[in-house]
Chain A
Amino acid sequence: MHEYEHYEAIVVGAGPGGAAAAAVLAQNDIETIVLERGVEPGSKNVSGGLIYAEESSPYTMDDLFPEFRKFATERPITEYKLHNISGKKTATFDLKGLHESDTEWCDSVLRRKMDSWLAKEVQGMTQETGGGLLNGIRVNGVLRDENGKIEGVTCDEIDPITADVVIAADGVTSELARSSGLMNWERPEEWFQGVKVVVDLPKVDNIFGLEPDTGIAHLFSGDLFDGVRGGGFLYTNRESLSIGTVFHLDSIMEKEAETQELLNKLITHPLLGQWIDEEYCELEYSAKLVPDSKKAANPTPHLDRLLLVGDAGGQMQAQGPIIKGMNHAVTAGALASEAFVEMRERGSIDKTGERYELKLRQTGVMNKLRPPMYSVVKAIGENKVATAIVDGLITSPIGRGAIRVIGNKMEKLYNIPILSMAIPDTSTPYVTLPTVIGEELGTVIKSKNSVKPPGLAERISKLSYDTDIGKPHIKLIDNSYADSGGAVTACPVSAVGFGGGCYRVEEVEIDGKIEFRVSLDTQPCIECGTCAVVAKTEWNNPRGNKGVEFRHG
């Protein structure tokens, strides 16, 4: 039998979930080692950019890190607008009510800055327990004992480590979640894909009429995204903007949409011309797969000593237009550690997972992630017939008339949290309804937009990579167009006819017949995981320190 190094707790991933877990463990004097695959925490992390602190949540980021908002965030988001766009018209709803419902505070963040600040705190805390935080270590799977029970982790760079508890906070591309069979990457309908640019804009305050302690979030939906289900966002940072889109992955696949093109439709939309002009300068292009917790959150996110928190457990809530991920990761991370602390005191660490699951339920976290009401809506409304009837009704003269009559009350309906939690995943709320609202209630957009967004080649060339030469981290198992062709459009750094991306289509002659084949070059990969869902691949993260390094995130 091997003698491996043993720590009381291993936390995999130093994002918000991992940081929260490590903080609670360290506060309870539990020897904790945190393993991060990036050169620095934050270098592999992307988020849309808003972190919430919910009043109903047992843990918020500033509970655990009191100076978090002072050093790690960009600015408080004090205004929240939804633009329902139809052609050149838009009807703007003020969603401050929804935004502020159950919200203690909400700040915009850039992940490199946020996570690297957290890391310094976590480093100090965990060092005192006899552990610490190690960068550049990729955990590639679970370590099992002679009975097949999970007892630790295996890594690319160092020998396996055993622990009394393993908290997997390794994000949406979690190798622990997949290798333990707790999550899979099979169904596109369980995922969103987010694509984002960080735009340099030193005069944010002037342009948006803000004070340093105020900020604004703009959301966009309607007919500007070619009918793909999803929407766009613009968040103000201290001296930059985060502009992005989030779409259902199955809708991207169905429409064969080029996601970076959809993002460009937002960036170049006349409505955005009031804020950005020809001096537009992108600092960073990034993308991320986003689990739809309504379908993907694992209700039993644990196995043996392994506990999943945050994206690794699918804990990413889309509450209508509001996306809440980091706050749930923080809560879950803290609850997982709390569960371990309690079970350790009782001398039954094997019950930690069950305890964690109970805590997720008792604190209401699981109900936010998987709202019971959604299952009803899904059963009745998420089918083609129902969607066609509802869409048909909304677009009919009767529906349009009704929306005109409801008028401003529409805004009030949008601000009801319970309704926003149970929005069906159909074209109705994302496309049809906002478009009709825009048409019927909107005013004509007067601003003009002169922005020319850069092409994919330029976006990729601005990113930093440390390529693991000769060791591609993704392998294409099936190169037929039928099974893997979807990646050419869905991959955010690939496009049909673009030779510099990850996925390309090639024409090959087989037995005198021309066939399409898919080829892969992982060099420009931004590690979002999209192709793992839409193509037949063997998908791994690059080993520690390798691959893309985000500077903003």
Chain B
Amino acid sequence: MEADTRVMDNNSSDIDIVVLTKGVPDFREGKVSFDEHGHLERGKTPTVMNPNDRFALKAALQTKVRSGGKITVMSMGPPGYKEILQEAMNIYADDLYLLSDREMAAADTWATSITICTAIEKLDPKPDIIFAGFKTADGETGHTGPQTSWALQWPIITHVVSIDVNLDEKKITAKRLVQGDIKEVETVEVELPCFVIPDPEFEAEYPKASHRLRLQNLTEETRERAISYEETLTMWDHKELNLDPDYIGLDGSPTIVGRVDPIPKAPAEREATIINFKSKKEMEEVLGVMAPFAGED
């Protein structure tokens, strides 16, 4: 009998993973609603999970499939954000946390980071890795993740396109885009605990058959769990986190929004050139433009 290598990549201990997510207006065409001045109508626009958080969840799931462990998904927002957590659970979550009360409302990125940092420190056991999406679709600041890692005093890796966790050595090896350029990739090695921000270019890798089988089972499980997600949901308010209302929410936010400009209409993604090909030469020009997009043969 040959050696069975189908144990987890490493199973010396389980890994505790947290994924941070946020609800944002659904900016997809047909869903989003603007008034006549070009301002977003929040009431008429549905809230969805921030699209970039999908990559954070996929990175977390890859880690769980390959190394075992538990995934906690956390968000801060009004009670209606429970459904955002359900959306996340459809990708994968073992349990859900929502930080929610009136005192936390209207927080800027600073007050949000302080609140989230406090909640993470309250988790038992403490997480080994935190994944967060690369900027939210509404604020687009990209501040909350890095500020939270600073508040936790954890190292952070951003623009991550692939990860490999080595639990024995308590290390994570990540490939990241340098300056967001897909052509330049650097490999970094960081000790756990660590904060990781996957890039939208992130792709989960499941090179072994057992990974794929486990992924299939976990995906099936989480979708079943998501139907009655409230059973795994914990709500924390500022009292439970022992936070002073003066330092969170609107009162704890140093950011002052001076003015909001209407969102400019996105330019068309495609350009069209009208060609009246009468000669062979003109047709050759067209072929010349098209050639790089054609297949090998």
Contacts and interface: CB of A to CB of B under 8 A. Distances in A.
Interface of A: 3-7, 33, 35, 127, 131-132, 134, 137, 158-159, 161-162, 469-472, 475-476, 519-521, 523
A134 B295 contact: no
Contacts of B296: 470-472
A132 B216 contact: yes
Contacts of A6: 2-6
Given A127-B217, A472-B297, A521-B297, A161 B209 contact: yes
Chain B interface bracket (under 10, 10 to 19, 20 to 34, 35 or more): 10 to 19
Nearest to B210: A5
A158 B208 contact: yes
Contact of A134 (B2, B6, B216): B216
Contacts of B6: 5-6
A5 B212 contact: no
B227 interface: no
Contacts of A475: 297
B209 A5 contact: yes
Interface in B1-40: 2-6
Given A159-B208, A472-B297, A521-B297, A33 B5 contact: no
B264 interface: no
B3 A3 contact: yes
Interface in B254-273: none
B contact face: mostly helix, strand, loop, or mixed: loop
A162 B206 contact: no
Nearest to B212: A134
B164 to A, nearest CB: 15
Given A134-B216, A162-B2, A7 B209 contact: yes
23 contacts: A5-B5, A5-B6, A5-B210, A6-B2, A6-B6, A33-B209, A35-B209, A132-B213, A132-B216, A134-B209, A158-B206, A158-B208, A158-B209, A159-B209, A161-B209, A470-B295, A470-B296, A471-B295, A472-B296, A476-B297, A520-B297, A521-B295, A523-B295
Contact of B212 (A4, A158, A523): A158
> Chain A CB within 10 Å — which of B211, B212, B216, B217 has the most?
B212
B288 interface: no
A35 B216 CA distance: 13
A521 B295 CA distance: 9
Contacts of A469: 295
A87 B274 CA distance: 53
Interface string B184-224: 00000000000000000000001111111100110000000
> Chain B CB within 10 Å — which of A137, A159, A162, A472 has the most?
A159
Interface string B96-132: 0000000000000000000000000000000000000
A127 B212 CA distance: 12
Contacts of B297: 472, 475-476, 519-521
Given A132-B213, A134-B213, 10 more contacts: A3-B3, A3-B5, A5-B5, A5-B6, A134-B209, A137-B212, A159-B208, A159-B209, A162-B2, A471-B296
Nearest to B207: A159
Nearest to B297: A472
Contacts of A127: 217
Nearest to B213: A132
A163 to B, nearest CB: 10
Nearest to B4: A6
A340 to B, nearest CB: 15
A1 to B, nearest CB: 10
A383 B297 CA distance: 42
A131 B217 CA distance: 11
